[in-house]
A = this chain, B = another copy of it.
Amino acid sequence: MFQVPTKTQYAIRALVHLVRHSAASAGAIAEAEHISPKYLEGILAQLKAAGLVVSDRGRMGGYRLTRNPFTIPMLDVVKAMEGEVRLVECVGEGGACFAASGCLPRKFWLGLKQTVDTYLTSVSLGDIAEVDSSEGIPSVADRPASQTQIKE
């Protein structure tokens, strides 16, 4: 259950790529990750809107992370793609619940949401990319491409 949308999976793979390459164009990422280029453009736009990446237009342009990947909990990524995590309608605030049982399952769903949120907060993008936490500070834009190890 809870099939994770392809879009979100793509977003994560794109971000991992950015962690490991410091900067890259949509086309480059698409090719490396086997994602439809045009589709990926939209995903990157979303990530940008969420403030996770920044872009440079024009020739030689591309995308970069805005923060150290170890400061980006995966929950942020997921939220960027899917909006606020809401497993179930009535988990929100003024949930007018029609269930005769007074919405007994609500606690259950809240517990599940809590569990998922905790996990997603505990893992960072840096963790996933499996990059050394001491080096991976690409963000600051102008890291020398020479230094960057693209250890495939």
Contacts and interface: CB of A to CB of B under 8 A. Distances in A.
Contacts of A123: 108, 111
A34 B98 contact: yes
Nearest to A128: B108
A124 B21 CA distance: 46
A4 B100 contact: no
B3 A86 contact: yes
A35 to B, nearest CB: 9
B116 A128 contact: no
Copies in the complex: 2
B128 A119 contact: no
Contacts of A107: 128
Contacts of A82: 1
Contact of A101 (B20, B74, B98, B105): B20
Interface stretch (A9-17, A43-51, A52-60, A137-145): A9-17
Given A9-B105, A13-B105, A99 B1 contact: no
A99 B129 CA distance: 12
